[in-house]
Amino acid sequence: MVARDDATGTPDPVEKGFATLNTLRIGVKAMVEKDGEYRKAELLSMRTRGDVPYFYVHYVDFNKRLDEWIPASRIDLSQEVEWPAPEKPDKKKASGGQKAPGKNQKRARTESRDVSATPDLLTGKNTNVSKAPRPAKAGGKENRVDGTPHPLPEGASASDTPKQASEDVEMMDVSFTDAKAEGEEMKTMTREEEIEKLRTSGSMTQNPTEIHRVRNLTRLQMGKYEMEPWYFSPYPESFQDAELIYIDEFCLSYFDNRRAFERHRKKCTLVHPPGNEIYRDDHISFFEVDGRRQRTWCRNLCLLSKLFLDHKTLYYDVDPFLFYCMCTRDETGCHLVGYFSKEKDSAEGYNLACILTLPQYQRRGYGRLLIQFSYELSKREGKQGSPEKPLSDLGLLSYRQYWREVLLDILLEPGRESVSESELAQLTAMTDKDVHETLLVLNLLRYHRGNWVIVLPDHIVEQHRKRQEKEKQKGVRKIDPSKLQWKPPVFTAASRTWNW
């Protein structure tokens, strides 16, 4: 087996050999037991818990959601391992001569910092947990979680008040050009091929530097559900040693101690998101929460969502955002199902910044309801909207499915003979670009005598009819616009900007 050098195109031999527990190190690829089978995995980090060595592994060719901490007993040392290739010297530095020893030593210490520690937003240095976070400037990407927790108030008891994260984390991201090129490639795939690509390679905007971010929480309990996080989120560093993290499903406070959590639950009176209920039907409710008025709650929401969203950048300030939270109702209160955030004043016309359905509610159609609700708000505003780009993997699949269904519903309406792309955009509140690209992906556009013509093949019509029949049988839920009690809010200049 050989590895190819991207710079020269010449293959480099992979060094193999037998290893012992003492010689294992970060970067080694070994065979690891997973669900009764042995799979190749790369060791990303290591630690000792109760005199037992544990390794954080990434399974080669699998989505990094499957990354996990494993005991050393699951590593098959009877087979050869692949040793990491030695780092190549930088030719520019070598030709430029050696720097002062003090500077070289300082840089070495900086670059070898522990990736599991919580870094400072601006400097990237490890910081004390008690240090208050600093605000950061807004990014222009969709992959953004819009806040982190608020510091503890003065005089608050650590046992009665939820612990908060120390610093925000600026997640690395790829350029929009790279994401666009990847998106063009995925347009030619079938849905099955696209899902397989996402399963094996991660998000569409996967950044190789991001693969080595170690997931820091093991399990968390939220209401009656117990979940395993998918990704890293900058909770306090002490939380990574806890077997179970307790999250209040109403106020979203978090604890690593059961007694402290139970003490908090006796005092907490919140039974729904702290905002105005703007939609209610027989199944769900939507609450509008202002990031400026409910900073702590919104920061806790963003911190929670980062556990299940890969390419999201955490920001301290949530003031410029509104959070639309979808809940189910019962006798105990309104239980959070998912949410999407939206900028109060988006210069690009985006109607959605970040979207998440919590894992315990996924594959039930809630994601489609969130997307549909965002477009219903755009219709009330009299605007055309689009989600921020680039989309995450699951977000891309969800939006493509929604755009497809909405456009075909209009095109196949009884009595409709013709419609233009601009009319489709006005009817759906989608942008002209999203309408055009969706029609291209569906292969419904033909270029005829200098104009684009929408053509509906028989197999597309048949697939759509079958989908409608299945939806009727399953009783698929949709947003009822008549039950939306909402007017576009008007904000002052100060409430639309970052709270410096």
Structure tokens at 412: 């196949």
The residues annotated with a catalytic role in the active site are 388
For the chain, the residue count is 500
